[in-house]
Amino acid sequence: MPQYMLERLRPSDNDSELPHLCYNPKDHKIGEPLRPIVSGMKSPLAKISTFLDQNIRPIFDQHTPYSLPNSMIFLKHLKDYITTSETAMYTFDITDLYTMIPQKESVLAVCEFLGRHGYKKIRGLSINTIKALFLHVFDNSYFVLQLPGIGLKYYRQIKGGAMGSVCTQVLADIYVRKWENDFLQEQKQQKELYFRFRDDVFIITKLTSEQIERRLTELNEKDPNIKITWEGGKAVDYLDVTTTIEIPNFKTTVFRKLAAQPYVLPFHSSHPKHITQNIPYAAALRATRICSHREDLRVELDKIRIMLLLNKYPPGFIDKQMDVSINT
């Protein structure tokens, strides 16, 4: 590794600190399970992790067109699809993906992925060096947990990647890419859609419910580190879109989780004016893009107005910004 790059990746002597483990409640799920987050912005590994993500992520995105960057791309593909009476949709979620991926196997999956696409060096570094950097991140995944009355406890993560480590996501994406490939190829042979956003997958099929259930069960048994739960039918929720099968095209509306609350930045908050202007503008723009039917759009815009009024936005201000968005 060149000296200049070594210096860039070297942790700061004065500003580094051990990552802290904290828990965020998943208040939209039954029982409010906790999501473990390792806060590692000042971690000694932060620079290496960021370097790996910045250089591997673009390669993954380039060679994985079915990996969605946002819901707008998802909607574009739905609009081009012609539905029939046999069309069905399924979504499945990968359980605890980031904390369950095997460390060495996921690094090997990255190396195989790079080699398969002809990459021998990344930013002048050999694939073996990239491999060593990923393993260095895993081998030194130490963190501290502080609980009331117990004091500090020190740990090293021995399975999966830390939720909070920048490079965990791209490692998981590439590991899942290898796992899903056979299923993806079957979808392509049947000329059906397959999309993934992180650990959430959306598929369209014309198979019977028994056939697709069998395929998903086989997929669920393929890798002991990856477990999925699925649901499907004539209407599904995926990303921020509720998709319903109508012939010959899908109907799409805005999806909100049951736990969603009508809170946005209060109008009288001490923020620049363009921030409060952008909130009704962006909400109306999102609704316009997602809602495929005029009546659904009208209902959604009414919901947005009520939400903004609850947060003290003046009616005239709301209408002005929403009109600008709708007429753009």
One CATH from 3.30.450.20, 3.20.20.140, 3.90.1850.10, 3.30.70.260 for 3-252: 3.90.1850.10
Find the farthest-apart pair of alpha carbons in the chain and give their distance in angstroms, rounded. Answer: 64
User: For 84-121, how does the pLDDT look when each residue is reduced to its tens digit (9 = 90+)?
Assistant: 999 999 999 999 999 899 999 999 999 999 999 999 99
Q: What is the pLDDT of residue 251?
A: 98
- In whole angstroms, give the CA distance from residue 94 to residue 110: 19
Which residues have CB under 8 Å from 193's CB, separation 6+? 77, 81, 187, 202, 203, 204
Q: Binning pLDDT at 50, 70 and 90, where does residue 179 land?
A: very high
Classify residue 200 as left (phi > 0), alpha (psi -120 to 50) or beta: beta
Cα–Cα dist 232/216, whole Å: 11
**Lowest-confidence region among 6-10, 195-199, 227-231, 263-267:** 6-10
- Please give the share of the chain, as a percent, with pLDDT higher than 90: 83
Instruction: Tell me 259's DSSP state.
Output: T
Q: Which stretch of 13-22, 23-32, 33-42 has the lowest confidence by average pLDDT?
A: 23-32
**175 burial via Cβ count (<10 Å: 0-12, 13-18, 19+):** buried
Domain spans, the chain = 3-252, 273-326
Q: What's residue 259's pLDDT?
A: 81
Give, rounded to a whole angstrom, the gap between the first and last alpha carbons of the chain: 50
What single-letter DSSP state applies at residue 165?
B
Q: Are 153 and 20 in contact (CB under 8 A)?
A: no
Write the CA distances from 318 to 260, 276, 284, integer angstroms: 21, 10, 10
Give the Cα separation of 41 and 49 in Å (integer). 10
Residue 328 reports pLDDT greater than 80? no
Given this model, what pLDDT does residue 154 score?
Answer: 94
Write the pLDDT tens digit of every residue in 238-276: 999 999 999 999 999 999 988 888 999 999 999 999 999
Burial (CB count <10 Å: 0-12, 13-18, 19+), residue 78: buried
Residue 32: pLDDT band with limits 50, 70, 90 = confident
pLDDT top residue among 259 and 17? 17
Q: What predicted TM-score, i.e. pTM, was given to this entire model?
A: 0.92
Quote the tokens at residue 274. Answer: 């363009």
More confident residue, 35 or 47: 47
In this predicted structure, the answer to whether residue 29 has a pLDDT above a threshold of 80 is: no
d(CA 108, CA 116): 12
d(CA 193, CA 212): 14
